[in-house]
Amino acid sequence: MSETVVVKLGGTTIADQAQVLSEIAMLVRRRPVILVHGGGRRLTEWLDRMGVVSQFRGGLRVTDATSLEVAAAVLRGVINSELVSGLRALGVDAVGLSGVDGGVLIAERLADLGFVARVVGLRRDLLDALMVAGQVPVVAPLARDEDGFVCNVNADDVAAGIAAGIGARQLILMTDVDGVRDGSGQKLDTLTAAEAEILIAGGTIAGGMVAKVRAALGALAWEGTEAIIADASAPDALARALDDPTFGTRLTVGRGARASNLGAA
Protein backbone atom coordinates (compact mmCIF):
# COMPACT_ATOMS: atom_id res chain seq x y z
CA MET A 1 0.00 0.00 0.00
CA SER A 2 1.45 3.35 -1.04
CA GLU A 3 2.00 6.10 1.53
CA THR A 4 1.33 8.67 -1.19
CA VAL A 5 -1.55 10.98 -0.29
CA VAL A 6 -3.89 12.00 -3.10
CA VAL A 7 -5.47 15.38 -2.31
CA LYS A 8 -8.31 16.86 -4.33
CA LEU A 9 -9.15 20.56 -4.09
CA GLY A 10 -12.62 21.71 -5.00
CA GLY A 11 -15.49 23.96 -4.04
CA THR A 12 -14.32 27.20 -2.46
CA THR A 13 -10.86 25.78 -1.80
CA ILE A 14 -9.56 27.04 -5.15
CA ALA A 15 -10.38 30.62 -4.13
CA ASP A 16 -8.71 30.16 -0.74
CA GLN A 17 -5.43 28.90 -2.15
CA ALA A 18 -2.99 30.36 0.38
CA GLN A 19 -4.16 28.36 3.40
CA VAL A 20 -4.55 25.03 1.62
CA LEU A 21 -1.35 25.31 -0.40
CA SER A 22 0.63 26.07 2.76
CA GLU A 23 -0.75 22.89 4.32
CA ILE A 24 0.14 20.89 1.22
CA ALA A 25 3.66 22.32 1.28
CA MET A 26 4.06 21.11 4.87
CA LEU A 27 2.65 17.67 4.05
CA VAL A 28 5.03 17.24 1.11
CA ARG A 29 7.94 17.31 3.57
CA ARG A 30 6.57 14.15 5.23
CA ARG A 31 4.85 12.13 2.51
CA PRO A 32 4.59 12.01 -1.29
CA VAL A 33 1.59 13.97 -2.54
CA ILE A 34 -0.41 14.06 -5.77
CA LEU A 35 -2.71 17.07 -6.04
CA VAL A 36 -5.84 16.95 -8.20
CA HIS A 37 -7.96 20.04 -8.65
CA GLY A 38 -11.42 20.92 -9.84
CA GLY A 39 -12.63 24.41 -10.53
CA GLY A 40 -16.31 24.12 -11.33
CA ARG A 41 -17.30 27.45 -9.83
CA ARG A 42 -14.57 29.29 -11.71
CA LEU A 43 -15.58 27.51 -14.91
CA THR A 44 -19.23 28.46 -14.40
CA GLU A 45 -18.21 32.10 -13.97
CA TRP A 46 -16.31 32.04 -17.27
CA LEU A 47 -19.21 30.35 -19.08
CA ASP A 48 -21.64 32.92 -17.64
CA ARG A 49 -19.50 35.73 -19.07
CA MET A 50 -19.78 34.08 -22.47
CA GLY A 51 -23.53 33.64 -22.17
CA VAL A 52 -23.27 29.84 -22.01
CA VAL A 53 -25.78 28.26 -19.62
CA SER A 54 -24.26 25.60 -17.34
CA GLN A 55 -26.24 22.36 -17.14
CA PHE A 56 -25.79 19.52 -14.68
CA ARG A 57 -27.08 15.97 -14.64
CA GLY A 58 -26.61 13.69 -11.65
CA GLY A 59 -24.16 16.20 -10.17
CA LEU A 60 -21.98 16.17 -13.32
CA ARG A 61 -21.54 19.04 -15.79
CA VAL A 62 -22.98 18.53 -19.27
CA THR A 63 -20.16 19.59 -21.59
CA ASP A 64 -20.72 20.53 -25.24
CA ALA A 65 -17.95 21.61 -27.64
CA THR A 66 -18.06 25.25 -26.53
CA SER A 67 -18.05 24.39 -22.83
CA LEU A 68 -15.15 21.99 -23.39
CA GLU A 69 -12.95 24.69 -24.94
CA VAL A 70 -13.59 26.94 -21.96
CA ALA A 71 -13.07 24.05 -19.51
CA ALA A 72 -9.71 23.19 -21.04
CA ALA A 73 -8.60 26.83 -20.91
CA VAL A 74 -9.77 27.44 -17.36
CA LEU A 75 -8.84 24.10 -15.75
CA ARG A 76 -5.53 23.33 -17.47
CA GLY A 77 -4.55 26.89 -18.30
CA VAL A 78 -5.68 29.21 -15.53
CA ILE A 79 -6.27 27.16 -12.38
CA ASN A 80 -3.53 24.57 -12.88
CA SER A 81 -0.96 27.29 -13.54
CA GLU A 82 -2.06 29.25 -10.47
CA LEU A 83 -1.75 26.21 -8.21
CA VAL A 84 1.64 25.19 -9.61
CA SER A 85 2.91 28.75 -9.23
CA GLY A 86 1.58 28.99 -5.67
CA LEU A 87 3.23 25.72 -4.64
CA ARG A 88 6.54 26.63 -6.26
CA ALA A 89 6.50 29.93 -4.35
CA LEU A 90 6.34 27.80 -1.18
CA GLY A 91 9.38 25.75 -2.21
CA VAL A 92 7.45 22.78 -3.63
CA ASP A 93 8.76 21.35 -6.91
CA ALA A 94 5.30 21.18 -8.47
CA VAL A 95 4.64 20.09 -12.06
CA GLY A 96 1.35 20.82 -13.81
CA LEU A 97 -0.31 18.36 -16.17
CA SER A 98 -3.72 17.05 -17.14
CA GLY A 99 -4.87 13.51 -17.71
CA VAL A 100 -4.20 14.08 -21.40
CA ASP A 101 -0.47 14.69 -20.89
CA GLY A 102 1.45 11.47 -21.42
CA GLY A 103 -1.87 9.63 -21.49
CA VAL A 104 -1.71 9.51 -17.71
CA LEU A 105 -5.47 8.93 -17.42
CA ILE A 106 -7.32 6.27 -19.40
CA ALA A 107 -10.96 7.28 -19.81
CA GLU A 108 -14.18 6.35 -21.53
CA ARG A 109 -16.92 8.69 -22.66
CA LEU A 110 -20.22 9.13 -20.83
CA ALA A 111 -22.20 9.75 -23.99
CA ASP A 112 -25.28 11.29 -22.37
CA LEU A 113 -23.19 14.15 -20.94
CA GLY A 114 -21.42 15.27 -24.12
CA PHE A 115 -17.65 15.58 -23.89
CA VAL A 116 -17.48 14.05 -20.43
CA ALA A 117 -15.57 10.91 -19.50
CA ARG A 118 -14.86 8.73 -16.50
CA VAL A 119 -11.53 7.28 -15.44
CA VAL A 120 -11.08 3.58 -16.18
CA GLY A 121 -7.29 3.26 -15.90
CA LEU A 122 -4.02 4.96 -15.08
CA ARG A 123 -0.56 5.18 -16.56
CA ARG A 124 1.15 5.21 -13.19
CA ASP A 125 4.74 5.02 -14.48
CA LEU A 126 4.62 8.72 -15.41
CA LEU A 127 3.40 9.75 -11.97
CA ASP A 128 5.93 7.42 -10.32
CA ALA A 129 8.76 8.99 -12.34
CA LEU A 130 7.75 12.49 -11.28
CA MET A 131 7.52 11.53 -7.60
CA VAL A 132 10.82 9.62 -7.64
CA ALA A 133 12.35 12.85 -8.93
CA GLY A 134 10.91 14.66 -5.91
CA GLN A 135 8.22 16.48 -7.87
CA VAL A 136 4.57 16.98 -6.95
CA PRO A 137 2.13 16.30 -9.82
CA VAL A 138 -0.72 18.82 -10.01
CA VAL A 139 -3.38 17.22 -12.20
CA ALA A 140 -6.17 19.01 -14.08
CA PRO A 141 -9.34 16.96 -14.71
CA LEU A 142 -9.15 16.40 -18.47
CA ALA A 143 -8.55 13.13 -20.34
CA ARG A 144 -8.73 11.57 -23.81
CA ASP A 145 -11.61 9.19 -24.40
CA GLU A 146 -11.38 5.92 -26.33
CA ASP A 147 -11.79 7.79 -29.64
CA GLY A 148 -9.07 10.33 -28.89
CA PHE A 149 -11.36 13.25 -28.00
CA VAL A 150 -10.38 15.47 -25.08
CA CYS A 151 -13.07 15.31 -22.40
CA ASN A 152 -13.96 16.98 -19.13
CA VAL A 153 -13.75 14.60 -16.15
CA ASN A 154 -15.20 15.05 -12.69
CA ALA A 155 -12.24 15.94 -10.49
CA ASP A 156 -13.37 13.65 -7.66
CA ASP A 157 -13.35 10.77 -10.17
CA VAL A 158 -9.84 11.74 -11.32
CA ALA A 159 -8.56 11.81 -7.75
CA ALA A 160 -10.19 8.48 -6.92
CA GLY A 161 -8.89 6.87 -10.11
CA ILE A 162 -5.36 7.98 -9.32
CA ALA A 163 -5.64 6.86 -5.69
CA ALA A 164 -6.88 3.42 -6.70
CA GLY A 165 -4.34 3.14 -9.51
CA ILE A 166 -1.32 3.81 -7.31
CA GLY A 167 -2.70 1.97 -4.28
CA ALA A 168 -2.80 5.09 -2.10
CA ARG A 169 -3.80 4.47 1.50
CA GLN A 170 -5.56 7.83 1.80
CA LEU A 171 -7.58 10.03 -0.53
CA ILE A 172 -8.55 13.45 0.80
CA LEU A 173 -11.46 15.20 -0.93
CA MET A 174 -11.21 18.80 0.28
CA THR A 175 -14.46 20.62 -0.35
CA ASP A 176 -16.84 23.22 1.10
CA VAL A 177 -18.92 20.89 3.26
CA ASP A 178 -17.94 19.30 6.56
CA GLY A 179 -18.77 15.74 5.54
CA VAL A 180 -21.63 13.38 4.81
CA ARG A 181 -24.81 13.58 6.87
CA ASP A 182 -27.31 10.90 7.86
CA GLY A 183 -31.08 11.08 7.59
CA SER A 184 -31.39 13.17 10.76
CA GLY A 185 -28.84 15.71 9.55
CA GLN A 186 -25.99 14.56 11.80
CA LYS A 187 -22.50 14.47 10.33
CA LEU A 188 -21.12 10.96 10.09
CA ASP A 189 -17.52 10.51 11.28
CA THR A 190 -17.27 7.18 9.46
CA LEU A 191 -19.17 5.59 6.61
CA THR A 192 -18.74 2.16 5.08
CA ALA A 193 -19.41 1.35 1.45
CA ALA A 194 -22.58 -0.55 2.41
CA GLU A 195 -23.86 2.33 4.52
CA ALA A 196 -23.17 4.81 1.72
CA GLU A 197 -25.26 2.74 -0.68
CA ILE A 198 -28.17 2.84 1.79
CA LEU A 199 -27.96 6.65 2.01
CA ILE A 200 -27.80 7.01 -1.77
CA ALA A 201 -30.68 4.62 -2.37
CA GLY A 202 -32.82 6.45 0.19
CA GLY A 203 -32.07 9.89 -1.23
CA THR A 204 -30.25 11.15 1.88
CA ILE A 205 -27.10 11.55 -0.20
CA ALA A 206 -28.26 13.55 -3.22
CA GLY A 207 -27.13 15.99 -5.91
CA GLY A 208 -23.43 16.60 -6.30
CA MET A 209 -22.66 14.63 -3.14
CA VAL A 210 -23.67 11.43 -4.94
CA ALA A 211 -20.85 11.84 -7.47
CA LYS A 212 -18.42 12.70 -4.69
CA VAL A 213 -19.31 9.67 -2.58
CA ARG A 214 -19.32 7.38 -5.61
CA ALA A 215 -15.83 8.59 -6.48
CA ALA A 216 -14.65 8.10 -2.91
CA LEU A 217 -15.94 4.53 -2.91
CA GLY A 218 -14.02 3.89 -6.12
CA ALA A 219 -10.77 4.65 -4.32
CA LEU A 220 -11.35 1.95 -1.69
CA ALA A 221 -9.35 -0.82 -3.31
CA TRP A 222 -8.94 -2.99 -0.20
CA GLU A 223 -9.19 -3.08 3.60
CA GLY A 224 -7.14 -0.32 5.19
CA THR A 225 -7.71 2.32 2.51
CA GLU A 226 -9.86 5.33 3.31
CA ALA A 227 -11.31 8.34 1.56
CA ILE A 228 -11.97 11.44 3.64
CA ILE A 229 -14.46 14.15 2.69
CA ALA A 230 -13.60 17.30 4.65
CA ASP A 231 -14.15 21.06 4.83
CA ALA A 232 -11.07 22.86 3.50
CA SER A 233 -12.06 26.16 5.13
CA ALA A 234 -11.50 24.83 8.67
CA PRO A 235 -8.21 25.65 10.42
CA ASP A 236 -5.49 23.04 9.76
CA ALA A 237 -7.98 21.20 7.56
CA LEU A 238 -5.55 18.93 5.74
CA ALA A 239 -3.68 17.83 8.87
CA ARG A 240 -6.96 17.17 10.67
CA ALA A 241 -8.35 15.23 7.72
CA LEU A 242 -5.32 12.96 7.87
CA ASP A 243 -5.10 12.50 11.63
CA ASP A 244 -8.35 13.45 13.39
CA PRO A 245 -11.00 10.66 13.15
CA THR A 246 -13.78 13.11 14.08
CA PHE A 247 -12.98 15.62 11.32
CA GLY A 248 -14.95 15.19 8.10
CA THR A 249 -16.32 11.80 7.07
CA ARG A 250 -14.07 8.76 6.57
CA LEU A 251 -15.29 6.26 3.99
CA THR A 252 -13.95 2.74 4.32
CA VAL A 253 -14.63 -0.67 2.80
CA GLY A 254 -16.08 -1.86 6.12
CA ARG A 255 -18.68 -4.51 6.76
CA GLY A 256 -22.35 -4.26 7.59
CA ALA A 257 -24.45 -1.15 8.06
CA ARG A 258 -26.00 0.85 10.85
CA ALA A 259 -29.78 0.64 10.81
CA SER A 260 -30.43 3.78 12.86
CA ASN A 261 -30.78 7.07 10.98
CA LEU A 262 -29.14 6.14 7.68
CA GLY A 263 -32.35 5.99 5.72
CA ALA A 264 -34.39 8.45 7.75
CA ALA A 265 -36.03 11.29 5.86
Order of strands, sheet of 136-140, starting from the edge strand that comes earlier in the sequence: 94-98, 136-140, 33-37, 2-9, 168-175, 226-231, 249-252, 190-192
**Ranges of each domain in the chain:** 2-252
What percentage of the chain exceeds 90 in pLDDT? 74
Q: What is the pLDDT of residues 38-78, one digit of tens each?
A: 988 889 999 999 998 888 887 789 999 999 999 999 999 99
- Strand pairing class (116-122; 150-153): parallel
pLDDT at 264: 46
CATH number of the domain at 2-252, please?
Answer: 3.40.1160.10
pLDDT band for position 12 (cuts 50, 70, 90): low
pLDDT at 242: 93
pTM, rounded to two decimals: 0.92
